[in-house]
Amino acid sequence: MITVTEHAEKERHPLARKRFIIFVSVGTMLFVSAIASLMIGAVSFSITEIWNGIFSSVDSLERRIVWELRVPRMLIGLIVGMCLASAGAILQGIMRNPLADPGIIGVSSGAGLAATVIMILFPAYIILLPAAAFLGALVTALVIYAMSWKGGASPVRIILVGVAINAVIGAAMSALMLLYSDRVQSVLPWLAGGVAGVGWVQFEMIIYYAIAALVLAVFGIPHIRILRLGDEMAKLLGHKVERSRFFLILLSTLLAGIAVSVSGLIGFVGLVVPHIVRTLVGGDYRYLLPISALGGGLLVVVADTIARSAFSPIELPVGILLSFLGGPFFLYLIQKRRNSFVDN
């Protein structure tokens, strides 16, 4: 009996079982927390009430709160989390650096500057905010990529150039806010990041882009896998390293830009989720990327539910809560890992 099981173990990938368990648990947790996020809030509902709220078209309190407010907000949280975590996972893979996140390629600073400019200087065009944030993210990422180019854009150069450009943009934002300190009030919640007050309009605005970008991310998986062998090895295997990396950076910008355009600057998801998932299922992107996407969705949905209900009547922007809880948790992870290194 024992030998048969041992043999079966050898035939399989050593992580196969773990990956399956993690995938199923994250999926289940996501489903449960999505339902819970519809139930919990200033007004609590039972499962039946939610069912009625979604599927009966009779105008009622459930209908108005569940269908008009909580469902789109939950879905947007889900999409934002999936996009941010995928963007982070892709960047960590192609930079071969566990600290890479959408902030590094200028997505946060670029979107932040564009949003600040619109909100402070052109408040009349506030309707253009999502588009401007997205464009700001894209342009900054392209500038960073172009300035890193020196017969190829190596990960280290991209990270260093990113630090410099982000510093300049950060200064520009601070300057704007100081010069127009009377108008800063409108900018702060956006910079903190959150999905308060979003509805079906915002959902429709991003859903098609999000689906397209997430599908593209799936097609990016083989490219990320080969880039993880290192630039030299990938080149030696006949892979067009620079081309893959360029498109993958563009794709993460798109993913993060989609998130930023509706939710402002939600940090940490892109950094921390792929990191946690990697410690659980390993670095193979066929598993890491999809599970990270689900994990990102899970994290934002759960965090947003807590942020809007736990401190009632105050609604905390989810971005603040995420950084508050995520920071210490990340430190804990690093600590735990260091100990396990010592043990080995």
Residue 343 binds another protein (CB under 8 A): no
The distance of closest approach from Cβ of residue 236 to another protein in the complex, given in angstroms and rounded to an integer, is 5
Of residues 341, 309, 307, the one with CA closest to residue 323: 307
Q: In Å, what is the CA distance from 194 to each residue of 94, 113, 123, 189?
A: 28, 17, 20, 7
Residue 152 binds another protein (CB under 8 A): no
> Three-state DSSP class for 102?
coil
Q: At what angle do helices 71-95 and 241-263 cross, to 10 degrees?
A: 150
CB nearer another protein, residue 63 or residue 157 = 157
Q: For 229, phi and psi rounded to 5 degrees?
A: -75, -10
Q: What is the DSSP string of 177-221?
A: HHHTGGGHHHHHHHHH---TT--HHHHHHHHHHHHHHHHHHHHHH
The distance of closest approach from Cβ of residue 10 to another protein in the complex, given in angstroms and rounded to an integer, is 6
Q: Which amino acid appears at position 167 of this protein?
A: A
CB nearer another protein, residue 63 or residue 228 = 228
Residue 313 binds another protein (CB under 8 A): no
Residue 182 binds another protein (CB under 8 A): no
The distance of closest approach from Cβ of residue 161 to another protein in the complex, given in angstroms and rounded to an integer, is 22
Q: Which stretch binds another protein (CB under 8 A): 24-32, 67-75, 177-185, 235-243?
A: 235-243
Q: Which stretch binds another protein (CB under 8 A): 32-40, 230-238, 261-269, 315-323?
A: 230-238
Residue choice 142, 203, 235, 324 for contact with another protein (CB under 8 A): 235
The distance of closest approach from Cβ of residue 142 to another protein in the complex, given in angstroms and rounded to an integer, is 24
Q: What are the residues whose beta carbons fall under 8 Å from the beta carbon of 180, sequence distance 6 or more? A: 120, 121
Residue choice 53, 155, 193, 283 for contact with another protein (CB under 8 A): 283
| Alpha-carbon gap, residue 86 to 79, rounded angstroms | 10
The distance of closest approach from Cβ of residue 84 to another protein in the complex, given in angstroms and rounded to an integer, is 23
The distance of closest approach from Cβ of residue 229 to another protein in the complex, given in angstroms and rounded to an integer, is 6
CB nearer another protein, residue 41 or residue 282 = 282
Residue 337 binds another protein (CB under 8 A): no
Residue 17 binds another protein (CB under 8 A): no
CB atoms < 10 A from the CB of 240, how many?
A: 12
Residue 13 binds another protein (CB under 8 A): yes
The distance of closest approach from Cβ of residue 209 to another protein in the complex, given in angstroms and rounded to an integer, is 23
The distance of closest approach from Cβ of residue 147 to another protein in the complex, given in angstroms and rounded to an integer, is 22
Residue 63 binds another protein (CB under 8 A): no
Q: How many residues does the chain have?
A: 344
Residue choice 19, 73, 223, 308 for contact with another protein (CB under 8 A): 223
Tokens describing residue 194: 């959150």
Within residues 66-105, the interface with another protein by CB under 8 A covers 96
* Residue-wise burial string across 91-128, b where 16 or more C-beta atoms lie within 10 A, e elsewhere: bbbbbeeeebbbbbbbbbbbbbbbbbbbbbeeeeeeee
CB 235 within 8 A of CB 243: no
The distance of closest approach from Cβ of residue 282 to another protein in the complex, given in angstroms and rounded to an integer, is 5
Q: In Å, what is the CA distance from 157 to each residue of 88, 145, 148, 163?
A: 18, 9, 5, 10
Residue 3 binds another protein (CB under 8 A): no
Residue 157 binds another protein (CB under 8 A): no
Q: Which helix (H) or strand (E) holds 304?
A: helix 285-309
Of residues 221, 241, 224, 242, the one with CA closest to residue 233: 241
Residues that bind another protein (CB under 8 A): 10-14, 96, 219, 222-223, 225-226, 228-230, 232-233, 235-240, 282-284
